[in-house]
Structure 1
């Protein structure tokens, strides 16, 4: 069964993104993508959403 994980970052810096990527991949999650939420008044993203996936064994009932 495929599981998804979304990590929200409100501090969108290179260091914060790198830290989150290293943390969640070390826990067995595979990075799948990144989305940014932009402010109209700024060129820098207001938030970032990191997307991860991992395969979990199917439960036998």
Structure 2
């Protein structure tokens, strides 16, 4: 069974994103992607959602 972990951050900088990825990968999650939420008032993202996945044992479906 694939499980997902989504981490939200309102501080969108290379240092913060790097720290988040390294923290969760170190806990056994695999980095999947980053989704940015943009603000019309700025060219920089207002938020970021960092997605991780991992395979976990779950009930079998036959």
Query: What TM-score comes out, normalization by structure 2 length?
Result: 0.92
**Aligned CA-pair RMSD:** 1.1
Aligned to 1:8: 8
* Structural mapping, 1:5-44, within 5 Å: 5-44=5-44
Alignment gaps of 5+ in structure 2 = none
Spell out structure 1 runs of 4+ moving beyond 2 A.
Answer: none
How many pairs are equivalent?
60
Q: Distance in 2 between matches of 1:17 and 1:37?
A: 14
Please list the CA deviations of residues 34-55 of structure 1 after superposition, one character each: whole Å capped at 9, or x if unmatched.
1000010100000000000000
Alignment gaps of 5+ in structure 1 = none
